[in-house]
Amino acid sequence: MKVYNDSDAQPAKVKSRPVAVIGYGSQGRAHALNLKESGCEVIVGLREGSPSATKAQADGLKTMPVAEAAKAAGLVALLTPDMSHETIFASEIAPNMEAGDALLVAHGFTVLYERIKPAADIDVILVAPKGPGDLVRREYERGAGVPCLFAVHQDASGDAAAKALAYASLIGGTTAGTLETSFREETETDLFGEQAVLCGGATELVAAGFETLVDAGYAPEIAYYECLHELKLIVDLLYEGGFAKMHEFISETAIYGDLVSGPRVINDETRARMRDVLSDIRDGTFARNWIAENEAGKTEYDRMQKADLDHPIEATGRELRAMMPWLQADKNSAKKAA
């Protein structure tokens, strides 16, 4: 797979006209500031009365209502939560985009599942940094970047791919290395990773391990340390150097336990359930269910989330984390940086 770097990008494809960043959350703030410092004219589009306006203005950025920002821009980066896209796009963005303009998203969900339907005469592109907004910002500030994915859904101008790559370069993505994908591949793999491994899979594994030890009579505090607290140490090693670095820095006893017991926990039955999860994503079942849940007021979502946050591991964790002053220092540093 080709890795695109700074030399492959043509920043003028985006810098020649104003860029509207809609939303000022984690990704929105990072993109807007990086674009501005890369020489773009940036307008932050926010709903009337948004508390984010004061923050964006304090960061030195121009703010406008969403409709005005979309009208003034040549590229509109829609960086609000997925479930808000449909209303915002239909009522405030679509009527204010002209032929040859570009709509950019950082996740393909609402385009792939046709929750938004852009006109045929505009470009529809995706640039997805592979990291949270604060990391996108920090890496840019130190002259580096976070790797990005880019994709084209609709190429009305003939320059859609060039615009996507230019945008990736302006937020630091091509400094780190940017890969081309498709809206379908980005969306389906992102949803699968969140559900089966990163969020759903990981939290269920942690909770099940905690429950197994506590049910067997071990102290909840010890179970917390072994099944949740130390997970960061292992994830950091995997992040930095894959399986090889983890094996380099853990004991031979741990390696042996990994090799003989890992396949007992994650086995053919687990893989079959993962394939079921992927099937629901690929055939649209997950998207339909999530959209219907939002439209129904998210009552089941709220119930399931409350059950998750009421798990005994949370109470144990709160007590033990209070004994870890470095966590509070990290939290305060993050707030100060934001």
Q: Annotated binding site: which residue ranges?
A: 24-27, 47, 50, 52, 133, 190, 194, 226, 230, 251
Q: Choose among 72, 71, 95, 81: nearest CA to 28.
A: 81
- Coil, strand or helix: which one is 297? coil
Pick the catalytic residue from 31, 85, 107, 153: 107
What is the residue-wise DSSP string for 223-241? Answer: HHIIIIITHHHHHHHHHHH
Instruction: Say how many residues make up the chain.
Output: 338
28 to each of 40, 44, 284, 309, how far by Cα in Å? 15, 8, 27, 28
- Nearest 5°: the CA angle 244, 131, 202 is 60
The annotated binding site for Mg(2+) is made up of 190, 194, 226, 230
Q: Which amino acid is at 100?
A: G
The annotated binding site for substrate is made up of 251
The annotated binding site for NADP(+) is made up of 24-27, 47, 50, 52, 133
Residue 46, strand partner residues: 65
SS (H, E, C) 146-192: CCEEEEEEECCCCCHHHHHHHHHHHCCHHHHCEEECCHHHHHHHHHH
Q: Which amino acid is at 323?
A: M
Helices then strands, counting H and E runs in the chain, come out as: 19, 9
Q: Tell me, yes or no, if 107 is annotated catalytic.
A: yes
For residues 247 and 245, give the distance between their C-alpha atoms in angstroms, rounded to a whole number: 5
21 to each of 31, 180, 309, how far by Cα in Å? 8, 22, 33
Sheet strands side by side (includes 178-180): 3-4, 178-180, 148-154, 123-129, 102-105, 75-78, 19-22, 42-46, 62-65
DSSP state at residue 92:
I
User: Taking the alpha carbons of 200, 203, 206, 211 in that order, is the dihedral positive or negative?
Assistant: negative
Catalytic residue IDs: 107
